[in-house]
Structure 1
């Protein structure tokens, strides 16, 4: 059985007609978790929580501990995000990680810090995360992920 599964979920900072990118993970040559060189680019209806959850579970099922060798010629920012640089990805997308570690399913809201995404902390300096008591259904997962993206968009002032 897989020990650690991590799925990256990025959502364009738009309210309507947004792009979502879901990337499964594998391992690099030294064993660190990294995104694979393929994923799903979708333009889902923001209220179709079950479909969003199904897309995330696709990434979950594609994630494994296999070593992947990603070509340095692959430009993720162009291939998946339609951005000219990774810095634009950081500026134009919010990100959530969905993980399964030691039998616990968790989503964690991330924020831009420098040239990377790190845990987003609320006004109490607590990481914004949600731990599921059991494996969530696609509907539960999609609903919580979209609630978390909405929380971040409210924080950023994109919605009132």
Structure 2
């Protein structure tokens, strides 16, 4: 079973919004986000709580086909944005994945209207592979480190 959890963080240093969405499958078997998730305003140093939210979404993710999808677009439902382009402008994104028995997180970046793999100055994908399923504290800490790295790169935090 392959799983992907979508983790988005508003590009703000304080009072930021975080969105965590589990996944399922569409009718042809492609991984798709579910119609529910967590919208939170956590403290940026509350690593364990952030990891617990991500673990909840991981446990909610499965290979079941999502039969009934919401008519509400994801940008309205979770992000309170008028368009998906606004989501890509106002949020950074990380995917927590379990693929072929490997747990990893990957930092993404905006590319037009979509998110693609973020590469550092050495053209290497910013990704972390865990040797085993991470604890909530390990997961939350690593995710927030990656978000801070991206925000420093973008000049949002000094």
Instruction: Give the structure-1-normalised TM-score.
Output: 0.96
The CA distance in 2 between the partners of 1:85 and 1:50, in whole Å, is 31
| 1:89 is the counterpart of 2:87 | yes
Q: Which structure 2 residues correspond to residues 110-149 of structure 1 after superposition, within 5 A?
A: 110-149=108-147
- 2:45 maps to what in 1? 47
Q: 1:14-93 alignment to 2 at 5 Å?
A: 14-71=12-69, 73-93=71-91
Unaligned runs of 5+ in 1: none
**Is there any run of 5+ residues in structure 2 with no aligned partner, and where?**
none
Aligned length: 158
Query: Within the alignment, does 1:12 sit opposite 2:10 as a pair?
Result: yes
Q: Distance in 2 between matches of 1:142 and 1:72?
A: 29
Q: Give the aligned CA root-mean-square deviation in angstroms.
A: 0.9
Secondary structure (helix, strand or coil) at the match of 1:77 reads helix
Once the 2 structures are TM-superposed, how far is the Cα of residue 72 of structure 1 from its aligned partner? Answer: 6.0
Q: Are the equivalent residues in 2 in contact too, given 1:98–1:105 (CA < 8 A)?
A: yes
Is residue 2:128 matched to residue 1:151?
no
* TM-score, normalised via structure 2 length: 0.97
**Do 1:13 and 1:93's aligned partners in 2 also have CA atoms closer than 8 Å?**
yes
Secondary structure, aligned partner of 1:26: strand
Contact 2:21/2:38 (<8 A) preserved: yes
C-alpha deviation, 1:133, in angstroms:
1.1
